[in-house]
Structure 1
């Protein structure tokens, strides 16, 4: 197998998405307003409408002069994503939306409402170039990177649905965002970090979310993991490991031919040490592939090879640096990969917990509408 390049580049020649205020900092929005011959405070008004009031109808922006409203909205709030279809599960509290981007590319996002939180699972690329054979998204290849604003708009759209009472449970707010939709987030690094900054910046520059409520997933782009650790944004890093040994991981996660298990786990540990944030290890449970008891022991050996990290409370206490999320594999039609037996998953989890590795089984919410992990494969059919 030929090693994959660090970043798989989308096909060239595609037009870029139109500039949107979510692509810019507040200061950059104010400069853009001046370039259009408009007062800088108009940019702040538009930002308030978008990030605080969650308004998408220009007629509701009554503090903007009617004569300039169309120009302002066209210049700062171009339409980036259009809903094609929304499927619901769990009595309407799980909603998967298929979006068409400005160039007809298709992506999906998922809103999941729980009693104590609302999580948005967002896409960062149209398609994915990582080619993991058990993942539906990876089978379609990479079309293009998404812009910062296209990523943010998925979250804002979910926030609007909650604010308008369209999700059972009454009005609410998005508390968590996971970059676990379509694409490899760290292969679209600049846009993803820009989106994280928009999500966490105080209103009206952004949505004002806590960085601790945001999880960025990766299959293991080691230089980008190290770069993210230095950004000063304490998001949770989720490493999709899926195998504790190079021989199997080379098959399941082809980027492993570039960065070994040892290199990848070491980078994740360095991230935990630098940010004081515990790393999540994602491990999809595949029947007779990676779910053997001896592989649980090997995974424990790999993860226990690194010490605990300070917990951020002045270093007085120390905590385990990692938590393992075992994910019952979600079915992909025609795939040779199937879900592990319940007994094998239980034993795998028991062995990890017995070795001091905090381990839980992932909720497979949304699997009946192909909205669970590994099932997103945007399709307009």
Structure 2
């Protein structure tokens, strides 16, 4: 009863102590960093719509003992590249990279020094995140539903002055549905109507082609790694791939997630690994075609091939199976580049394949079905 009379000043004392604790902690972190000292960020007006970080490090990771943090650069700017899609191997550091950007922006906006060598930051009205994977069993919410509820909250609240980070959206459902959702969400956030600052980490490599559709808004980054093959000592011993993570981010697209190498590292039985490699190899030819096109698309036949994306056939098929029709576009364009097929011939091929997709069940088609269908149709067209 006697203590209750002092409850209000005790609460005020606790709040003041907590506030001072935060200030002292940030000050200690700024001067005791194992890497480069923290710097004072340059806060821009909202007329200067950009976030530029050089030598950015994750502050929590950097404070750990015996941990060497690789610094990375970030450049988000209206009219150039406001939305970044990050691809890279499993355990490569994609999540840490996008988290570090959000943490640094938050630190700058509360008046703290930041773990960078240089920083220009436009204040944002919100930092929104769709990261992690967890369910809520007590509430009857599955992992995927939780993911969609969080994404829905972001899409309903985002403004052009928000910072959004998304980590592997769509992994809780099928590949086709997951890719379709990832593409739609990324397109919405990067669109002129919204145009928020965004970082999107993904293993859907086809999503990187969004930069071709929005070249002045979307850019691709990749997390680097070194890949080496080790040959077995015995004659019948197979070679193994060794992946060394570099944790360095640069412009570009990562062609492989190296998930099987992580599975091998985790100790999965070799017979399981070999079976997984056999199944995964079925997609390899399609992926290689897509990657070759990604390098050529920006400079070759860009105007002539715009009709492919605008045609009614593609629009219909896109609603059925986004991932397959995206691959279809790439296969046809690559064939046009290498075989010099006429535009009418390609248009005819798109229409034919769309009818095939409408008759089939797209989500159940094996990956090589589409590739063989394209090859057969193109060969028939060449003979006409």
Same fold (TM over 0.5): no
TM-score, with structure 2 as normaliser: 0.32
What is the TM-score with the length of structure 1 in the denominator? 0.32
